[in-house]
Amino acid sequence: MPMRLLISIAILTSIAYSADFTTYIGDQNQYQVAAITTDSAGNTYVTGSRDIPSTSPGVSTDVFVTKLDATGNIVFTTTFGGKGADQGNTVAVDPSGNIWVGGDTSSENFPLHNASQTELGSGFPEGSGFLVELAPDGTVIYSSYFGGLEGGSSVNGIAIDQTGNLYLTGTTDASDFPTTPGLPTGMVASDGITPVSGAFITKLDAMSLHIAYSALLVGSSVECSCCSTCSLSARATSGVGITVDTTGDALIAGNSNTTNLPVTPGGAAGYGAFAAEINAAGNQLSYLTYLGPPSGVLSSYGPAQEITASAIATDAAGNAYLTGSTDNPLFPATPGAFQTTLNANPAYEPTPSDAFAIKLSPSGTIVWATYLGGPGDDAANSISVDGSGNVWLVGGNSLGFPSASPPGPGYTTAAGDFLVELSASGSSLVFSEEFPGGAAGQAVDVDQSEVIHAAGENGLISTITPSQPPASRVLGIINATGGQLSGRISASEVISIFGFGLGPTAPVTATPSNSFFPTTLGGVQVLLNGSAIPLLYVSESQINAEIPSPFFDTEATLHVINGASTLPTFRVELDPSIFGIFKNSDGSVAAVNQDGTVNSSSNPAKVGSIVSIWGTGFGNPDFNFAVDGAITTAANNWCYECSISLGGQIEDPAYAGTAPGLIDGLMQINFMLPANIGNDNQVYFQFSLGGGGFVWASQ
């Protein structure tokens, strides 16, 4: 494989970014962030799930809660769970500084403490919501199942008022879920011919945790264009987020596949996303409205085009702000809004969507509503409102995502994560920043000092102060073959480090000297536990480097030195292997045909011939053949236990080992194309170390 082809594969599209601090909160296990919140001191609180080793089939996870101080130092990480799947979905902090976490669990041995409900729900699949209170130091004060015994439940949102009362929302199909007079009390069922679930809104007293009020929003009608299966399909309604305003009114965002939720007078009929409010007295549904109508394009599974809510926030005046995604051209965007028409284009994705933001008055009427997206697939995952009434959104974006004018320092048209600020009127973007995927698109919260706290899906936490110049930081690391940004590395892995102020403005590509890549390039060094590692490419926003082999430290520190500047420490964790295979922009694997030409749709390989592909991140090999930063000079078919699956048939590769002529952190795999090629001349495969894809082939 020519060196120029390697460089073209390994150098990824780069961006700059703005961050006060960025840190990785993971440990030896994978973390998945679900929610974030802050307190008056600028501390950050994050929850989600943490993978744990399991010898039984299925996924086994624990809940994690991490607290970081205002400078990004981890104060504590607490994990808890049983033998099943335990997921933290929401986190909030009460006036005493205690931390409340809600989620769902399938563990019969979930750790309980002073519990109000001591048994797991008996629905199918079996499971319950849970509610846990932690002291400011992470000590468990209270832990209980939540949701009833005759079905399953999930706590998806927690809000806390100024006196410490709790407000919860989520979903349940437990027929014994508690409700109170004066509020909707729809019937749910976990079994029978047609399962029915509802969205709950429950207030718990601050001192006793007894139910002050509880409502259950349930629909029964599903629109279908045909087929008797419609009458048998589940009726599913769920609350996805909750907030409480200064008067004590509770507001939720939710989704339903039904069309007959109890819409209040003046509310909009529809399907999919809805908003609801319960008054402070807890005896009246102040409003319930769908966010938009169905498109009228129906299938046996309901409308083909939907509006899906993901989060809700409120301001001091009691207005509600909701966000999510939609592929519905009938979303009620208002005149003068930032984006009034759907920008999704099926040429980019099969069912592309735009993000949206909508502001509702205290009575539930639309103040403004806007789409937000490019021609590809865009979705907002979280929303927060600052003291000026400006609206902050994070999510995932695609090619052509809109930018503020002028754009933020990290603006790019590449797909990844976005952080944007909409003006209080919804008519313009005030701030726009784009990141590599996994950096900041999962959750956002604005603290009292107007500092933005953002979380990436895989455990990257950043703070951003839009009024200040961007600070030089490592933002995260990925395998050079691509993927989601995180803080995880593997021995013998070529990595890409993304960030801001990492290196020179004019990119520099390394030229090996005496068959070795340098450890200083363009005035840049990268130190892993104090030792310089080989560099392939450096720029202001991206560095490509190689992790040494062998490397066994489970936790390490990474420092970037850019000239006279040493950037802040970035924590990394070692995985046994993070194997990836290099791919092209069209989704095919970067491959070379047997005749030495590059494989492509216009230059496919012949069936029965050998193709060569390349990967990295294979970890510490069984024996030490690597010389860090060196160009490999000889073939070594060291992966004698590797296999490749072609159309479900397991084969031995013709070769799987060192990549002669390339840096020692790369692996070459050669395999023969079968005679029975797949559809559209694409041969799909899976490699035993990880990864897969397709190469182009012809008869």
pLDDT at res. 303: 47
pLDDT at 5 over 80: no
Reply yes or no on whether the pLDDT at 349 is more than 80: no
302 pLDDT above the threshold of 60: no
Q: Which helix (H) or strand (E) holds 242?
A: strand 237-244
Q: Which of 26-30, 60-64, 210-214, 646-650 has the highest mean pLDDT?
A: 210-214
Sheet strands (E) in 529-639: 531-532, 535-538, 542-546, 555-562, 565-566, 570-575, 580-581, 591-592, 605-606, 610-616
Name the amino acid, one letter, at 372. L
pTM of the model: 0.91
Radius of gyration of the chain from Cα atoms?
Answer: 26
pLDDT single digits (tens) 152-187: 999 999 999 999 999 999 999 999 999 999 999 999
What mean pLDDT value characterizes the chain? Answer: 89
Q: pLDDT at residue 6 above 70?
A: no
* DSSP letter assigned to residue 8: H
72-109 pLDDT, tens digit each: 999 999 999 999 999 999 999 999 999 999 999 999 99
Residue 460's pLDDT band, with cuts at 50, 70 and 90, is very high
Region 124-140: what's the mean pLDDT? 91
Q: Which two tokens stand for residue 389?
A: 């009434």
Q: Hey, CA dihedral for 173, 103, 274, 95, is it positive or negative?
A: positive
Among 275, 307, 463, 310, smallest CA distance to 382 is for: 310
Planar angle of CA 341, 346, 347, nearest 5 degrees = 120
Q: HSE-up of 683 (CA within 13 Å, CB side)? A: 27
Instruction: Report in angstroms the alpha-carbon separations of 474 from 242, 426, 541.
Output: 34, 32, 9
State pLDDT tens for residues 644-681. 999 778 999 999 999 999 999 999 999 999 887 766 78
Tokens found for residue 586:
């069209």
How much is the pLDDT for 55? 52
How many angstroms separate the CA atoms of 299 and 338, rounded?
A: 32
For residue 9, name the pLDDT band (cuts at 50, 70, 90).
very low
Q: What percent of the chain has pLDDT over 90?
A: 73
pLDDT, one tens digit per residue, over 241-262 is 999 999 999 999 999 999 999 9
CA dihedral 397, 399, 403, 406 (to 10 degrees): 140
In one-letter notation, the amino acid at residue 673 is L
Task: Give the helix/strand (H/E) hosting 3.
Answer: helix 3-10
Q: Cis (ω within 30 of 0) for the bond into 2? A: no
Is the pLDDT reported for residue 543 higher than 90? yes
How far apart are the C-alpha atoms of 301 and 441, rounded to whole Å?
29
**Band of residue 207 on the pLDDT scale cut at 50, 70, 90:** very high
What pLDDT is stored for residue 300 in this prediction? 43
